[in-house]
Amino acid sequence: MSVEPDILKATYLPGDVTEDKAAAYFYGRLFAAEPRLRALFPPAMDVSRDRLFRTLTVVVFRSDEPAELAGLLEPLGRAHRKYGVLPEHYPVFGDALVATLRRFAGAAWSARAEAAWTAAYDRAAALMIAAAEDDAAARPPWWVAEVAEHDRRRADLAVLTLVPDRPYPFEAGQHATVQTSRWPRVWRPYSLAGAPRPDGTLRLHVRSVPGGWVSGALVRETRPGDTLLLGPPAGGLTLDPGSGRDLLLIGGGTGLAPLKALAERAAAREPGRAVRLFAGARSADDLYDLPDLRRLESARPAVRVTAVPQDEFGPLPDALPDLLDAVPDPAGHDVYVAGPPAMVRAALGALDRCGVPADRVRHELAATGETLLPGAAGRPVVHA
Ligand X SMILES: NC(=O)C1=CN([C@@H]2O[C@H](COP(=O)(O)OP(=O)(O)OC[C@H]3O[C@@H](n4cnc5c(N)ncnc54)[C@H](O)[C@@H]3O)[C@@H](O)[C@H]2O)C=CC1
The footprint of ligand X on residues 194-213 (CB under 6 A) is 205-207
Q: Does 180 bind ligand X (CB under 6 A)?
A: no
CB 281, min distance to ligand X, A? 5
> How do strand 247-252 and strand 227-230 relate by DSSP bridges?
unpaired
- Give pairs for 211-217: CB < 8 Å, separation 24+: 211/384, 212/383, 212/384, 213/182, 213/183, 213/186, 213/384, 214/178, 214/179, 214/180, 214/183, 214/186, 214/187, 214/188, 214/383, 214/384, 215/188, 215/383, 215/384, 217/180, 217/182, 217/183
Q: At what angle do helices 19-33 and 46-61 cross, to 10 degrees?
A: 110
CB 278, min distance to ligand X, A? 9
Binding test (CB under 6 A) with ligand X, winner from 233, 235, 339, 378 = 339
Contacting range for ligand X; rule: CB under 6 A; set: 117-125, 178-186, 252-260, 263-271: 252-260
The footprint of ligand X on residues 137-176 (CB under 6 A) is none
Binding test (CB under 6 A) with ligand X, winner from 300, 304, 315, 331 = 315
Binding test (CB under 6 A) with ligand X, winner from 3, 247, 263, 338 = 338
Binding test (CB under 6 A) with ligand X, winner from 75, 141, 194, 258 = 258
CB 331, min distance to ligand X, A? 22
For CA atoms 75, 81, 86, 92, the dihedral sign is: negative
CA distance linking residue 216 with residue 248, whole number of Å? 31
Binding test (CB under 6 A) with ligand X, winner from 72, 79, 346, 361 = 346
Binding test (CB under 6 A) with ligand X, winner from 141, 173, 280, 330 = 280
Q: Does 382 bind ligand X (CB under 6 A)?
A: yes
Q: Does 187 bind ligand X (CB under 6 A)?
A: no
Contacting range for ligand X; rule: CB under 6 A; set: 250-258, 269-277, 292-300, 329-337: 250-258
Residue positions counted in the chain: 384
Q: Interface residues with ligand X (CB under 6 A)?
A: 190-191, 205-207, 252-255, 257-258, 280-282, 310, 315-317, 338-340, 342-343, 346, 380, 382-383
